[in-house]
A and B are shown apart, each in its own frame.
Chain A
């Protein structure tokens, strides 16, 4: 079995593969050099896994490329795979997220973009149409832009019900549809927005990442711009699970692919001090849905550590035991083949890591 680890960086896509149970890695790349790869996807629903790459040139604009042979060749349509309809007056900055839909819709892939919009593909992620109803939402004019731009960075199709999709944006918060995208409602009850005069608004939160529990689809976990939360009702309400963490600030939130209640994040000190807590490189794991947390650092650098981990720069693969991976803004990538208990370095000295995704292929 080969494990593929796709590493999107500020200057291209690197593909790491392991054929020995994730003990050693061969790193290939960069594909699309001098482009920012903010999102990658590995769609395993197809006979040949499809790799999707968000490729943005600072000169020549954004695009999406796909590969059905694990990066040996890439396909890009002649005409723009994603484009805002003319009447919107908007132009695509970049794709921030790919989300293959449930197995019931094997050719459907969602994409979250900057500016904040949701696109839907029915040809396996090659071409996309904008989901008009979310773009037309009356709240949209009040959605803001974080430092990284205004984007939908999280898309979570429900695994059992194709009509239900959850998205999260910075800023704006969480929105859900239960009717296949025709109606969208904010879902931020319980998530604090300390940076607004009304700290408990209906929307406007800066949710950094949302992950869905492996076995309970209505259980969700959110890393917020200060605040770590869990929802047990599909996002209708949220409650804090930050007790036990050294900080409630950070970007990624990753759910174990198979074990209920197991999640990972990478805490930073605070908004105004975006360094790892105590300057130590540590992943935090909860095995009880956020009731308690434990630091994981075996094999990670022991010296004072300053790089941060961005919202999509942490992931898990689908193996058993699960592999967990993260990349840093200083171009290091670490992997654990034992669910986070121990770590080893996959790569170093890469450009800043924007995203990682891994799967058995």
Chain B
């Protein structure tokens, strides 16, 4: 092709694309039919959290396919938007879903900052925001009055670690060091552990905060004290496989316990044998040997080629939850306020993760499983793999643990400095 022709073709394509884009500007303003349920689903599908978003989508879609996208007569239309794990983008996309796609409620988000970005959008537009993943504590605690339409169907960071703190006491542990990622989720998870652990007689003697995304834990490992019974970690993303490996290589032998994300099914397939023995707490484990979970894991793996993580499970269960609400309304959308009230009133006895219901702040009360990483064969799969075997269950755990809600809320939100490290030497 001559240079001229090539240039002309490229320019024409560019022009055509521009015109096409312009033409679609006004489109997409259908109003929702009475028996239609339009859901706006926000998750990252590009960037560092793309796989989490993908898992979330797969979990929700798997449930939808099982019921043929029919929630008790309401035809479910779900629109997925990529919020790229950036709060400003999440806000824009949410607005698009609300104004242009006329969704009846929005759901999703992975990071705490996305949760904090979308919660006010829900208040402003008087629309329910269902959070299956975001674990930011305060959204259903001290900030609840600002965000009355937020329904959390996942977990809070401290919900699981409170239980782990109790478990650590029950194992006879007296002194524990904390190594937690230096950001809000790390603080809230560590705070939960420290509070419960110290209330039952334990002592947290050290708190180390590697920055989020740390690749070389060298400078932090040298600070870890040897005179502890265990090291409690809060690791996320790529930190989760790397920390146990570097910890072991540096010669540390004390047991590792941690927040669920330190060894959850998302990272577990890629962790080496140094993860074996790692004890973590989460509201789900793929190794739960209940009939419901067995079927879920087998089906998910056959469809998507991997063991489901809690990102998938929580969205599957959320879909089930919404379906239960729609069953009660006969497939008619009950309106935002009523929807939130009904979600709070609906108790699910049999989900993949076990029984689950909401407290009066819109946050789940559920089992917290203490899991240990073991290498074995499960569910008839051919190879021995790493699984989170459940070694103890704490039923009916709320976001406040055993504390009275009002007293709990009087204390400040867990932060880097709260609870203070009384026993740090």
A binds B: no
